[in-house]
Amino acid sequence: MAISLPKIVERRQKRVGRGIGSGKGGHTVGRGQKGQKSRSHIGILFEGMKMKKSLIKKLPLQRGKDKNRPHPKPVIVKLEYLNLLPAGSKVSLDLLVKEGIVKSEDAAIAGVKILGDGDIKKKLTIEVPISGSAAKKIEKAGGKVSSE
């Protein structure tokens, strides 16, 4: 009795540096002999050749450990989610957390911003950062945006 197995079309990616049986194993594992690209970690300033000045070298000096790390972005709240709030309320960070629209831990790290995705049908007073298009929709619905 012959078992028919499905034909595999895609091959697995070769795992570099995992012995001869992996298909890409052995001494230099397909990386050439020497140089920066043959090592395990390529530095953040490396852009392929010696002569060209890298982008980070062209930028002004920034001090500290976090200079190349991404900075946290604010939690985005769509405008249509504000329809869950009671009419005439002041939209603040505390109210958004209380109503369950935003998690308090996430909002404490980077804050909140309201973007103009969707429509609003209630009059609200906004006291958190808001985009221009969302502010126009709030004012069109009869609400108010207080500048911070």
Write out pLDDT tens, residues 18-33.
888 887 878 888 888 8
Q: Is 102 exposed, middle or buried (0-12, 13-18, 19+ CB in 10 A)?
A: buried
Same domain (yes/no): 86, 44: no
State how far the Cα of 13 lies from the Cα of 95, in Å rounded to an integer. 49
The answer to the question of residue 95 being in a domain is: yes
Q: Which domain holds residue 116?
A: 75-145
Same domain (yes/no): 47, 87: no
Domain count, the chain: 2
Same domain (yes/no): 116, 56: no
Indicate the range of 57-71, 86-100, 130-144 predicted with least confidence: 57-71
Same domain (yes/no): 79, 56: no
The answer to the question of residue 4 being in a domain is: no
Side chain identity, residue 14: K
pTM for the complete prediction?
A: 0.56
Write out pLDDT tens, residues 37-76.
888 888 777 777 666 777 777 888 888 888 878 888 999 9
State how far the Cα of 95 lies from the Cα of 19, in Å rounded to an integer. 58
